[in-house]
Amino acid sequence: MKRTFVLILAAVAAVAVFGWLVHMVLVAAHLSEPAPTTVYGMTPRRLWATAVSVLALVAVIIGGLALLQSAGRVGTGIGRMAAMVATMAGLIAAVNGGLNLAIATGGPGSGNGVIGGAAALVLGLTAMALGGLALARSRRRVGAARVGD
């Protein structure tokens, strides 16, 4: 019961922090105000932002699994490769999300994929951090195994 409550509380806190970070990115990009006219449906920029956001989310998941693997909690698979994949996919997502924000001419609702771009930027940076941490841990583990031999 206690562990379930802690996991739910952590998930709610993570969602709140994610929402706050997306808002801060939009404020920093001067795109925090909604568009005067709302565009409905998928536009090419919204599709681009959605695709990059999905890539960033997959990179965060891969980075989290690589981090768990480097800590020795889950399996003994290809943790280093997963960490490198998460880092590179996070970099691609963050660059594309930032580029989408840089060329956006309106705020949320303008059809420019502003929310998706901000989400991709935040998730991409998170994936890069997770992948980098997993790489550092896996190097430390490999180095410790070599010293003990």
Q: What is the pLDDT of residues 41-85, one digit of tens each?
A: 888 889 999 999 999 999 999 998 888 887 666 556 677 888 999
**C-alpha 144 chain-centroid distance:** 30
**Buried b / exposed e along 114-128 (16+ C-beta atoms within 10 A):** bbbbbbbbbbbbbbb
The pLDDT tens digits for 111-127 are 888 889 999 999 999 99
Residue 126 CA, distance from chain mean position: 4
* DSSP states of 12-70: HHHHHHHHHHHHHHHHHTT--SPPSS---S--HHHHHHHHHHHHHHHHHHHHHHHHHHH
